[in-house]
Amino acid sequence: MINSPSENTATSLPRIQFVLRERGDDGGRTPLAVVAIMNDRTVFIPASLPCGQCGPCRRALVSSCVARVQWLGLDLQPLLPISDRFAYAFDPHILAPRLAPWAALLLPWLEAMGRAGLGTGDLSFWLGDNHTVLLGAFLATARGSRAVVSGPPWVRDALAGLSDVPHEGRPSFASVDQLDNQALAAQTNAPSGFIERHIYTAGDDSVLWSAAGALLQPGTTLVAFGGLPALAGLPADARIITLGEHANPDFAPEALAALARDPSLATVCAALGASGTYDVWPHEAQA
């Protein structure tokens, strides 16, 4: 069970250094995570924390928590002290503090891969119309998965623009009508004639959901964020996992380690920042 931020554990007011923010449709910026100094340590803290008391939290379904604790205000000032439980220390000499807040975007994908059991040699499809689907695919590639991304044209263009990442460290892109061929080729080339197939979906694009349904076969694992639409003809033994829309902070140490270890993730984060959807405050000129 996740401990509540209000439990009787050591708490402190963090001294904030950097904040990752997401731009909304109205142009406003919502904080997602911070890097701060707390008890003489450099720490990563998600801006929204699980309550630890609701039904989903008690069933370890933290991503579906219904009473999240928003400890950081829109003015980027702490609203309440933070428990040490949710302050994840890291070495600023190994991971740059300005890069560390991006770990917030890795948390959902790491939970998804952990629950699905994605492993080396598995085939994974990453279908999404949001900006973080590329991070999931790069994380999967680093795990040794053959990762294939599909989505709107800007996803293809964004992947093509990551020219600084070596080819062997990059997922491939396939249009929706090419996905079946990609799956067939991977299975045909597998030594045993079978390859574990994982499908990760994010967004509400009906075309992508239709493609996800077409990729399902016996033994396939499908991970859906935020809910699962009605899909006809699901194989009886397909494994379906649904995750909520909130990040699980328990994956923060793994996310921070991945950022420190894999320079391709920093390249993807820089591209997400350049897109204008996310930014790190204060900006370089202000820091």
Q: Per-residue pLDDT tens for 190-202?
A: 665 567 889 999 8
Q: Does the structure show a pLDDT above 80 at 287?
A: no
Q: Which pLDDT band holds residue 284 (cuts at 50, 70, 90)?
A: low
Helix, strand, or coil (residue 226) = coil
Angle at 76 between CA 71 and CA 79, to 5 degrees: 30
Q: Does the structure show a pLDDT above 50 at 8?
A: no
Q: Which pLDDT does position 229 carry in this prediction?
A: 66
> Which element (helix H / strand E) includes 41?
strand 41-46
- Name the residue among 173, 179, 172, 175 with its Cα closest to residue 214: 179
Q: 219-249: per-residue pLDDT in tens?
A: 889 998 876 666 656 676 778 888 888 889 9
The answer to whether 17 touches 45, Cβ cutoff 8 Å, is no
Among 105-114, 188-197, 264-273, 275-284, which stretch is predicted with the lowest mean pLDDT? 188-197
Q: Does the structure show a pLDDT above 60 at 6?
A: no
Q: Which pLDDT does position 165 carry in this prediction?
A: 77
Task: 166-172: list long-range contacts, CB under 8 Å, 24+ apart.
Answer: 166/264, 169/138, 169/141, 169/142, 169/262, 169/264, 170/138, 170/141, 170/264, 171/126, 171/134, 171/137, 171/138, 171/140, 171/141, 171/147, 172/147, 172/148
Q: Does the structure show a pLDDT above 70 at 137?
A: yes
